[in-house]
Amino acid sequence: MRQRAARDQKRLDSGAVSSPKDLENLQHEIASLAKRQGDLEDIVLEVMERRESAQERVAELTERVASVQSKIDDATARRDAALEEIDGEAASVGKEREVVAGSVPADLLKLYEKLREQQGGVGAAKLYARTCQGCRQELAITELNEIRQAAPDTVVRCENCRRILVRTAESGL
């Protein structure tokens, strides 16, 4: 476009154009080419501005990605450490349980296992302040009286949830 404008200008300057109509046409074309050049320059400017702001955005997002990735790495490391700790604890509790289970009479262990299966994993519960810690129900007076009279090695159970009740000094008997 610039070349064409220059060529037109050259023709105009050389005086090769003879008729007034040709002259007018040529001047008109030069003016219109200059306007188009101005428009194109505006567009180029706008595109450059947009490219600049897009580059800023890319930089900002790249930074955010890096920060999120570092948080993910951190959380992953903490999760792995926690899992390792849980595995270790589970193994040690499992061993303890084996020892305790070995000292419990077979029929009581069988009852406990059955209740544990029925009661969502908890077969025995502490009797605390006259309340079964398995189902959180306070025991009735008659029931408490029966438990008071029962021998220490008698297996007592909750009337409500049927779990084995473990008596302690805090049972409220």
Residues in contact with Zn ion, shown as a per-residue x/- string from 111 to 150 under the rule CB under 5 A: ---------------------x-xx---------------
Specify the amino acid at residue 121.
Answer: G
For residue 173, the minimal CB distance to Zn ion (Å) is 16
Q: What does the alpha-carbon distance between residue 73 and residue 24 come to, in Å, rounded to a whole number?
A: 73
Q: Which stretch binds Zn ion (CB under 5 A): 7-15, 78-86, 116-124, 151-159?
A: 151-159
- Which of 11/130 has CB closer to Zn ion? 130
- Which of 8/143 has CB closer to Zn ion? 143
- Which of 39/113 has CB closer to Zn ion? 113
Interior angle at CA 23, CA 22 and CA 25, nearest 5: 65
160 belongs to the binding site for Zn ion (CB under 5 A): yes
Q: What does the alpha-carbon distance between residue 27 and residue 4 come to, in Å, rounded to a whole number?
A: 13
Residue showing tokens 């050049």: 37
The one among 111, 115, 147, 158 contacting Zn ion by CB under 5 A: 158
C-alpha torsion sign, points 106, 112, 113, 118: positive
Q: Which residues on neighbouring strands pair with residue 157, listed in sequence order?
A: 164
Interface ranges with Zn ion (CB under 5 A): 132, 134-135, 158, 160-161
